[in-house]
Chains A and B, each alone.
Chain A
């Protein structure tokens, strides 16, 4: 079973995303309410992917991602940034960070898992995760 870590400071976003991914994809969901907590949980649980909000108080999503990239034990985990609709220039900025994909809020709870599968090019019938940066980053091209 795939395991997804959701990092977002808003309770309702975490709960709806968890509900969505558990119910539609059957994935195991972990949640963290801050970037620092998310890093700790990623190290401990080694999730298959991380869905992280961009705007968080304190340490924001991009900063958290950069910190993750410095840690060999979790640098390989694909990260999807979750943000309100942004201008093209912002999307390019996120792409330059090296994240796997950028997903937009508000998301549709019924299709969020599909968006993640598509962005990460996961096969739908295998639990094997492709951690290749070159493949996962194609969602931003």
Chain B
């Protein structure tokens, strides 16, 4: 794997600033997979709202939410990661009565990340 950090550290500047800049590059590079995970969650929420959330879709969305919960905070999107964690939990323990909460959290997640996608 190319040593992004080593290249960066050759520059005479604040290491924290350099790391943050490199993290931003990684965020941009991984945007497609992040967007894919968000789309999976959105599809599941839409299906739940329509009253026909299939088990395979629920499980896939739960896994996507789990990954978002683990990754977003790493890139500085801590609040979005916590919302993703809430979505993961709701999908894990899903019942039709949890649809309103699911919709609310999905909208919140979208709003938090809208300007970064």
Chain B interface bracket (under 10, 10 to 19, 20 to 34, 35 or more): 20 to 34
What separation, in Å, do the CA atoms of A104 and B42 have in the docked complex?
26
Taking the closest CB of chain A, its distance from the CB of B117, in whole angstroms, is: 15
> Majority SS of interface residues in chain B?
helix
A-B residue pair count with CB separations less than 8 angstroms: 72
What separation, in Å, do the CA atoms of A84 and B92 have in the docked complex?
14
- A15-B26, A16-B26, A109-B74 in contact; A31/B19 too (CB < 8 A)? no
A88 interface hit (Cβ, 8 Å): no
- A19-B4, A19-B26, A22-B6 in contact; A105/B70 too (CB < 8 A)? yes
Chain B: residues with CB nearer than 8 A to chain A?
A: 1, 3-6, 8-9, 15-16, 18-19, 22-23, 26, 30, 33, 66-67, 69-75, 78, 81, 85
Chain A: residues with CB nearer than 8 A to chain B?
A: 10-13, 15-16, 18-20, 22-24, 29, 31, 55, 84-85, 105-110
